[in-house]
Structures are given as C-alpha cells and as structure tokens.
C-alpha cells in the first residue's frame, strides 16, 4: 500500500509559482514531483552556489609573486608552551630581505575544529628579513600557522604552513637535525632543513 | 505516562502531514550550507562551518539530545528528504535482500566511519567532511530508490545506528495509549499505511474495555505512510530502530499512538525489549569499545603504539610511505580493538557465565530446553544492554570535551563565513577569542559522565544477573561487572591520565 502512495504526480504549480525556487524544490520534491523540473532546479542551484562561491573574498585573492614568506619555529620541534616563530620576508628570485614591513601578524589554529586560535604580532623592523614573534602553543597536536604581513607600501601578503606534532613535553633533541642556519639563498620555497617542520605552503596570497 | 504530542504546538505538528518536513527543512539547509562551505571555504578546519558544525557542535548536541529527549536528530534528518524524493521517483522496488536484513552493514559502516575519521583526519578537513555529507545524501537516495523499505535507516546508516542504541537512555518512547484499540484495529495503518485512489470510509468495530464502539476510518488519495522501519506500534518496547518520524502517529486512524514519557533508560532492564541476536549484542557492547578506541586515537600513546607496531613488523624498512604504514597499523588497531577484543570479551564473559551455573539456566527468557540451555548467545544478549550506559558515558566524555571546549567557536566561524561574503551585520572581524568552557569544568563533566555510566551499568549487571540467575547471580554479576569495570578503568586512563593531542600526522622512523 505504501508503494501506491509514492505514485508519480505532476507538480502543477511549478512553473507559475513565484518566490525562492530553492523552497519550491523542496516542497515540490516532497509533495508533488516532476523529475525534469527537479533536476533543472537542482542544476540552477548548483550554478548559483558556484557563482556565489566564486565571489567569496577568499576566492578572489591573487597570489603575490613579489614576496616570499617562510617560517620556522624556535624550538624547531615545538612543545606546549611559549615558542618563537621566526618569519622571513624576502623578494624572489634573489631573496632580497624585506626589513621594513609595517606589521606581521600570526594566527595559530589547531587542525581540529573548535579550538581557540592563538595570536602573535610584531611591528618591529626585521633583521636580514627575519622577524621574531612569540606564540604560545596551548595544546599538543597539529597546528596551522597563518602569517599576514603588511608591507611598507600597504600591500598585504599572506602565507600558511602547518606545524605538525607539537608535543606535550619537550621532545628528544637527539633526532633533530642541525637547522640553526637556514639556507637563505635557497631557491626552494622552504629550506631543506625546515621540511620536517613545515609542509609545502598552502597558499601565497595578497589582499587589497 | 504523558503524551508529549498532546502538548500545544507538538500536537499540531505531529498531526500535520508536513510537520516533520518543517523540522527537516532547516536541517537540510544547514547540511547544504556545510557542504557549500566545506567545498568552497577556508580549508583550515576551525575557520570552516563544515568541520566546526559537524565535529564539534553536531556531535555534542546529538549526544545530549539523545539522553534528554531522544532520537530527534533522526526525526529531523535531512538525508530522508532525498529518500522521499527517491521513493516518489522509483517504482515499487524489491525488499532489502534477506541476507542483509540485520545490523551487519550498519556495524561495518559505523566502524568504517570511525576508521576513516582517524585515518583521513576528517576533523581537519572541511572538504572531506563535505564529501561525507554528500555521500550520505547519495546513499540514502540510492537505497531508497532501489528498495521499498527504509533500508538506509534500518540497515546501513551509521549515525542512525548510533542514535538507535543510545536513545535507549532517553525518557520518551513511541507507544500506544490503549492496547485494546490495537487488538481490534482492522487496518493496522500504523505499519501498513493507507491509500485509496478515491476516498473510502470504513467502519471499524473497536473494543475498548469490553465495549464495542464504531469508529469511522477514512482512506484518501493522499495516503499516509506506515512505519518505515516496520515497527508495529503496540509491540514497540524500546527506541531501537525508531526514527521518530511520527508516521505511525499520523497513520493511526484511532489517535491511539503517542510519544510517551517514561523513566530514563526503562528498556535497559526489560529483557523482552531487546532481540538476543548476535549482531545486536555485538553492536551494543562494541559501541562501548569503539568509544574507547575513538578517544584512544587522540592521545599520545596511540602514536607510540603505531610506531611500535610498524617497527615490529619492519614496515619502515619496506620503503612504504607514512600514509601506507599508517593505514596498515591503524587498521590493525581497529581490527583488534574494534572487532577481536569486544567479540573475545563478550564471548569469554558469556562462556564463563555459562560454566558458572551449577544447573541448566531456567528463566522466562532462557527456557530449559535441550536446544538452548546454557546458550551463550542468550546470556550475552541479556547482558548486552548493560553496556549502553558505560558506552554512553565514554562517548559523552569525548564529545563533551570537543563541544564544551569549543562551544562558542561557532560564532567567529559564522562571522568569518559572512565576512567572506561581504556580509558585516555580525561585525567586521571574527571574534576568534571566543572559545568554550574552562577545562576544569570539562573535566568534571567527563568524570560525571564516566562515573554515571559506570554506576548505571553496574546496577544493570546486577539487575540482569538477579533476573536471570536468581540465587546464582553472584558469579555472573562479578564476571560482567569486571568487564564494565575494565572499560571504566580504560576510560579513566584515557581521559584523566593522558593529555589530548589533536594530531593527524604520523612520521614513522
């Protein structure tokens, strides 16, 4: 008997009704149905969703090829508590240091949703392109560090890198490579000695 | 018993043909919003509605709602909308294959979801979270299009299975008001539904307290649905398999079905409320173990264990990638901790209980016949519901940690989403400082959840032992109590003696 209830019907008001058609899709799907109508409206919804998504601020930001940002943490394998994030700004391809950034801001997020981020910033001038910013890792686990650098000319460059495996306690330093002097002339995005700590940059953007 | 559906507003919503839809539409819109943001928004999990909404707030609110209200998430489930669409698109299909009509698929999908959650670090990936939601929509649509009954809800859905089990604790249940009415009901519309191409009127002779009254029953072209999971209202003794869709309430021509209040967890000590099937017993007991497994995946010892397993098997020397090694060792942990351990423990406890009895077990539910005396399956089936409170306590302790520690983070996440679309009515910058409850308070909540679940389970073990074994209840109580105690100690070790470490990356060396 239940199968008979699901008999196909034509949604008679589907073309004449006014208002939001998302609302109509749901109601039409449940109350009365014409499959072509539903598929057509679902396609329209998807197109609109894509258009809206394309207009998101985050989707319209362009890469800034004029600035290269890299980071490292001190200690290299950080643990819960205070740490220092060393941010280096330079101009590719020869990695000319940028020392006159107005402000550099850090936002540290845990990779798990629902955790409160931590923040750090500096307005001090850089030394050989390096800026030291204190950051407090509040919990063990994987973190994502977002760097927002406001340059002297007002442009903003951003960069994201993951810092994996922040430990609860100080890790065994026997396993740490000597990474005290990163190779600043490297043409790689991240110096080799930092690869254990930071993964490939997630994005490299500029905001108006 | 009070019928909650007699309360103002609830009554109208329950009787209205589209009452459930009014609950489903907001849930559906939320689900679509999560999918949209999951695919197109920031892929940093704390900044995305999909990850914050699903892994922090949905799970936290769900576990609390299951306890205090019941299975209202199945009632408002957005995935049943494509199901309804499929039902209308498809012709009358086949029934779900008989060989699959048990909880095996649901157990598999639940374990698979837990495994993928750990292996793929779903909590850290908005896109993956969105894919999970999409997969739900597609699966529910496909199964409903292929089969006549609510196969997805009853036999596959991992979320629904979780809800079915832990809604056993809730203080409300679908029930009939007067069993006399059901005995003489002709159409049994609560399970059969009703439909007629043209309106027809039937006169039922209903006997109530020995008096026969004529009741007019009308079947209309619009029709009404009967119970999707094929529960017969007068026989419902638990919330298991009930999606709270209220189709039975709407279908009953005698207004004889309600959502009745009851004491918390009443069905746990009712032997007749639970099927003694292997799959259901394994599900009830296994969920407690899986709660531990899920929480174990978030503390540092799991990485030491994975490293030890990898080294012990010589996997790093094989030149495999870290991801492949993790797949193997995490799979081993899940097979052992999620399947072998719970099965081994429940069978061992059942066997010990069996040999602890000096005489053949003779109770109302284990009649002493040559076939089933000392039947381990029945013994395990009787004790399985006792694992629901301790399992619930473990899940609550875990989910409450995430929910309470990040309860206000949904606000900056919504602000971030709106600002990304140039909508500023909630402010010009997200207030990322909003977090949650103090960790000390969360610790107390976890302790109460674990202790409450433990005490409740121990009380149930004793009640069931006395019910089933009477004067010989001492040893069964000790045996099953030891299992519950073991779960409790493991939970205390995980939650109290280890710091949570939200880590997904494992580098084998």
Residue B152 to residues A44, B96, B155, B406, Cα–Cα distance (Å): 28, 10, 6, 32
Residue A120 has which token pair? Answer: 């750090």
Q: Predicted ipTM?
A: 0.76
Q: Buried b vs exposed e over B249-265: b needs ≥16 C-beta within 10 Å? A: bbbbbbebbbbbeeeeb
Provide the pLDDT confidence category of residue B131 given band limits of 50, 70 and 90. very high
Provide the pLDDT confidence category of residue B220 given band limits of 50, 70 and 90. confident
d(CA A165, CA B487): 29
Q: What is the pLDDT of residue B498?
A: 78
Q: Which residues pair with A160 in a beta bridge?
A: A146
What mean pLDDT value characterizes chain B? 88
What average pLDDT does the segment B239-259 reach?
A: 90
3-class DSSP state of B204 = strand
Q: Which residues pair with B200 in a beta bridge?
A: B219
* Strands in B161-309 per DSSP E: 172-176, 200-208, 211-219, 257-261
Q: What is the pLDDT of residue A179?
A: 45
CB contact under 8 A, B435 and A116: yes
Question: B132: closest CA among B42, B48, B50?
Answer: B50
Residue A17 has which token pair? Answer: 């009704």
Residues contacting B339, CB < 8 A, separation 6+: B111, B286
B506-A165-A121 Cα angle (round to 5): 150
pLDDT greater at residue B92 or residue B471: B471
Is A203's pLDDT higher than 60?
no
CB contact under 8 A, A26 and B194: no
Residue B303 has which token pair? Answer: 């990485």
Pairing mode, if any, of strands A140-150 and B501-502? Answer: parallel
d(CA A159, CA A180): 22
| Long-range contacts at A188-196 (CB < 8 A, ≥ 24 apart) | A189/A68, A189/A70, A190/A70, A190/A161, A191/A70, A194/A70, A194/A72, A196/A76, A196/B507
Q: What is the pLDDT of residue B309?
A: 92
Q: Check: CB of residue B436 under 8 Å from CB of residue B409.
A: yes
pLDDT digits (tens, 9 = 90+) for A162-193: 888 788 776 554 444 444 444 445 444 444 44
DSSP per residue, B465-476 = HHHHHGGG-HHH
Task: Please tell me the least confidently modeled range out of A43-52, A186-195, B327-336, B460-469.
Answer: A186-195
B303-B306-B312 Cα angle (round to 5): 140
Q: What is the pLDDT of residue A28?
A: 53
Calculate what percentage of chain B has a pLDDT beyond 90: 51
Provide the pLDDT confidence category of residue A120 given band limits of 50, 70 and 90. very high
* Orientation angle between helical segments B322-334 and B301-312, nearest 10 degrees: 100
Q: Check: CB of residue B208 under 8 Å from CB of residue B180.
A: yes
Provide the pLDDT confidence category of residue B508 given band limits of 50, 70 and 90. low
Write out residues 89-148 of A within 8 Å (CB-CB) of B.
107, 109-117, 119, 139-142, 144, 146
Q: Which residue of B has its CA nearest to A196?
A: B507
For residue B60, the distance in angstroms to the closest alpha carbon of chain A comes to 11
Q: What is the pLDDT of residue A206?
A: 40
Q: What is the pLDDT of residue A126?
A: 86
Write out residues 65-94 of A within 8 Å (CB-CB) of B.
80
For residue A99, the distance in angstroms to the closest alpha carbon of chain B comes to 28
d(CA A90, CA A78): 24
A208 vs B: CB within 8 A: no
Query: Using a CB-CB distance cutoff of 8 angstroms, which residues of chain B are in contact with residue A116?
Result: 406, 409, 432-436
Q: What is the pLDDT of residue B208?
A: 79
Query: Using a CB-CB distance cutoff of 8 angstroms, which residues of chain A are in contact with residue B422?
Result: 57
């Amino acid at each position: 008997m239940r199968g008979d209830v699901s008999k196909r019907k034509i949604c008679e008001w589907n073309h004449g009704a006014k208002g939001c058609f998302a609302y109509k899709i749901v109601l039409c799907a449940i109350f009365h149905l014409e499959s072509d109508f539903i598929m057509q409206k679902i396609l329209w919804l998807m197109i609109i969703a894509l258009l809206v998504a394309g207009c998101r601020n985050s989707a319209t930001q362009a890469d800034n090829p004029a600035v290269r940002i890299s980071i490292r943490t001190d200690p290299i394998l950080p643990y819960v508590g205070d740490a220092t994030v060393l941010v280096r700004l330079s101009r590719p391809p020869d990695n000319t240091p940028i020392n006159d950034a107005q402000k550099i801001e850090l936002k540290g997020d845990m990779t798990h949703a629902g955790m409160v981020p931590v923040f750090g910033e500096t307005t001090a001038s850089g030394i050989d392109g390096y800026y030291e910013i204190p950051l407090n890792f509040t919990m063990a686990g994987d973190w994502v560090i977002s760097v927002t650098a406001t340059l002297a000319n007002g442009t903003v460059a951003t960069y994201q890198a993951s810092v994996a495996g922040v430990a609860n306690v100080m890790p065994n330093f026997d396993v740490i490579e000597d990474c005290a002097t990163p190779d600043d002339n490297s043409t790689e995005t991240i110096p080799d000695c930092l690869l254990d700590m930071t993964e490939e940059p997630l994005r490299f953007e500029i905001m108006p | 018993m009070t019928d909650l559906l007699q309360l103002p507003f609830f009554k109208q919503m329950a009787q209205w043909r589209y009452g459930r839809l009014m609950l489903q539409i907001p849930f559906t819109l939320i689900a679509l919003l999560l999918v949209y943001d999951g695919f197109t928004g920031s892929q940093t999990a704390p900044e995305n509605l999909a990850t914050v909404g699903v892994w922090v707030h949905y799970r936290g609110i769900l576990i609390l709602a299951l306890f205090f209200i019941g299975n209202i998430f199945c009632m408002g489930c957005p995935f049943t909308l494509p199901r309804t669409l499929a039902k209308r698109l498809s012709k009358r299909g086949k029934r779900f294959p008989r060989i699959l009509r048990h909880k095996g698929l649901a157990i598999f999908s639940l374990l698979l979801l837990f495994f993928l959650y750990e292996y793929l670090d779903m909590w850290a990936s908005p896109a993956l979270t969105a894919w999970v939601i999409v997969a739900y929509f597609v699966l529910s649509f496909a199964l409903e299009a292929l089969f006549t009954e609510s196969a997805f809800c009853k036999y596959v859905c991992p979320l629904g299975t979780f809800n079915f089990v832990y809604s056993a604790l809730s203080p409300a249940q679908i029930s009939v008001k007067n069993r006399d009415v059901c005995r003489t009901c002709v159409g049994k519309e609560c399970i059969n539904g009703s439909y007629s191409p043209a309106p027809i009127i039937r006169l039922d002779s209903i006997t109530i307290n020995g008096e026969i009254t004529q009741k007019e029953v009308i079947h209309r072209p619009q029709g009404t649905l009967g119970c999707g999971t094929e529960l017969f209202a007068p026989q419902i003794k638990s919330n298991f398999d009930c999606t709270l869709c209220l189709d039975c309430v709407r279908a009953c021509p005698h207004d004889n079905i309600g959502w009745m209040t009851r004491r918390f967890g009443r069905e746990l000590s009712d032997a007749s409320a639970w099927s003694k099937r292997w799959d259901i017993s394994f599900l009830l007991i296994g969920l407690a173990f899986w709660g531990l497994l899920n929480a174990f995946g978030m503390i540092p010892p799991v990485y030491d264990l994975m490293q030890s397993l990898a080294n012990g098997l010589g996997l790093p020397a094989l030149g495999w990638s870290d991801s492949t090694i993790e797949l193997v060792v995490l799979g081993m942990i899940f097979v052992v901790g999620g399947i072998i351990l719970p099965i081994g423990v429940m069978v061992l406890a059942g066997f010990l209980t069996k040999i602890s009895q000096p005489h053949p077990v003779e109770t109302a539910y284990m009649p002493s016949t040559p076939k089933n005396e000392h039947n381990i399956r029945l013994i395990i089936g009787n004790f399985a519901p006792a694992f629901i409170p301790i399992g619930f306590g473990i899940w609550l302790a875990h989910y409450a940690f995430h929910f309470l520690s990040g309860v206000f983070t949904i606000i900056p996440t919504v602000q971030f989403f709106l600002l990304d679309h140039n909508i500023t009515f909630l402010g010009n910058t997200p207030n990322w400082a909003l977090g949650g409850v103090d960790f000390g308070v969360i610790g107390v909540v976890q302790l109460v959840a674990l202790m409450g679940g433990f005490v409740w389970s121990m009380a149930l073990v004793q009640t069931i032992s006395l019910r089933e074994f009477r004067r010989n209840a001492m040893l069964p109580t000790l045996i099953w109590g030891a299992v519950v105690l073991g779960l409790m100690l493991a939970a205390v070790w995980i939650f109290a003696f280890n710091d949570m470490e939200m880590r997904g990356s494992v580098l084998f060396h």
